[in-house]
Structure 1
Amino acid sequence: MKVVAFNGSARKNGNTAILINIVLGELEKEGIATELVQFAGEKIRGCLACMKCWENKDQRCSVNNDILNACIEKMIEADGIILGSPTYFANVSTELKALIDRAGMTSIANDRMFSRKVGAAVVAARRAGALHVFNSINHFFFIGQMIVPGSIYWNMGFGLDKGEVEKDDEGLNTMKSLGENMAWILKKIHGK
């Protein structure tokens, strides 16, 4: 079993990555392989609405000049997918939105190829707006017919400066519980 996580933050190894890594740590304790892909420094364009994914049906986006198709390949191979984003103006980062739109459209065009994978949102916020980010990510999972585990609270942690989220005990415990629940679901699905 494997879970791939995508950090949509412009800051590599910032608060969003810290929260994702707590979830990944719990998965690894349960023997589940993990991988973290960070979008910091990457330029990922949005969907062109060209509909070529519906024509080609090759599990790829027709835009081929960024890392998006490599991300889609990782999502196809994985049993679980984590999407993490900081809260930018009460929404997901631009890069994560591009992944959601393009991977989502490609998935639907290819018989909902992410169906029944386990998906989890991880959100970092300074103060507010995080619930909308959490919902936006979960909408991707739900429309893709994915399985979404819960936690002890919404999957978010709070902090502004890099590392500040580590002071949010409730957020850290939420991520730990999310990792445990995601591992439990993956093991049940795979008969372990």
Structure 2
Amino acid sequence: MKVLLVNGSPRKNGNTDRALEECAAVLNQEGIETELIWIGAQAIRGCTACGACSRNGDCRCIFDDDIVNPLIRKAAEADGYIFGSPVYYAGLNGSLKSLMDRMFYAGGAVMRQKPAAGIACARRAGATITADEINKFFQINGMPVVSSTYWNIVHGRGAGEVEGDGEGLQTMRNLARSMAWLLKCIQAGAQAGITAPELERGTMTNMVRGDLIDGAN
């Protein structure tokens, strides 16, 4: 079994990376293989909702000049995921948001029903909002969201400051233990003949109406 950890910070060896490394160390102790990917500091274009990825049928974004498609291929080989983001303006880092928009739009099928978690690193505020933003990608894709013993956040600004957040690092370790436990449960279930549920797809309801009902919009 393998967990893919994605560092959404432009700083390769900052506090977000340190939190992910804490998760990876515990996963390795639990016998789970890990791979930590840094998305880099280069610009990642946002999704244009062109729909080409839906038509090509191969879980690939039409824009092939950045890390998105290579990461989708890595995601296809993984059994679980942890995405981490720094907090700059009370929310998800823009580069990671662009990456996840395209990655899940084009390649969501390769990650569906696999466990995942979002973590956030902030100087002070906005961390819980950011972790929740990441988790919403998993929730719409039928993926079990892995929890810990607190919200999946750590605090620190300068490189290395997260070391002072003992509870945050403890939360990362417990998150990794929960991830390992769930992966092992899924594996044991599969060996016992219990497979993922068949999900209904195809029905879409447009909640915007052009007519008026009883004078109301």
Aligned partner of 2:183 among 145, 169, 186: 186
2 CA distance for matches of 1:26 and 1:116? 23
What is the letter of the counterpart of residue 143 of structure 1? Answer: I
What is aligned with 1:49?
A: 49
CA shift, 1:42, in A, is 3.1
List alignment gaps of at least 5 residues for structure 1.
Answer: none
1 CA distance for matches of 2:53 and 2:40? 26
1 CA distance for matches of 2:73 and 2:89? 30
What is aligned with 2:198?
A: none
What is aligned with 1:128?
A: 125
2 CA distance for matches of 1:13 and 1:122? 16
What is aligned with 2:143?
A: 146
1 CA distance for matches of 2:57 and 2:5? 25
CA shift, 1:69, in A, is 0.1
What is aligned with 1:94?
A: 94
SS in 1 for 2:110: coil
Count of residue pairs the alignment pairs up: 189
> What CA RMSD, in Å, does the superposition of the two structures yield over aligned residues?
1.2
Could you state the TM-score of these two structures normalised by the residue count of structure 1? 0.95
2 CA distance for matches of 1:44 and 1:29? 34
Cα distance per residue 1:109-165 (max 9 Å; x no partner): xxx332111101111000001111011000001011111111010000001110101
Aligned partner of 1:114 among 105, 111, 116: 111
What percentage of aligned pairs have identical amino acids? 46
Cα distance per residue 1:17-66 (max 9 Å; x no partner): 00011111111001111001112333311112111011111111110111
2 CA distance for matches of 1:129 and 1:179? 22
Larger Rg: 2
2 CA distance for matches of 1:160 and 1:103? 28
- Name which of structure 1's ranges 93-102 and 34-43 shifts more when overlaid on structure 2: 34-43
- Name which of structure 1's ranges 179-188 and 98-107 shifts more when overlaid on structure 2: 98-107
What is aligned with 1:22?
A: 22
What is aligned with 2:203?
A: none
SS in 1 for 2:117: strand
**Bigger relative contact order (CA 8 A; separation at least 6):** 1
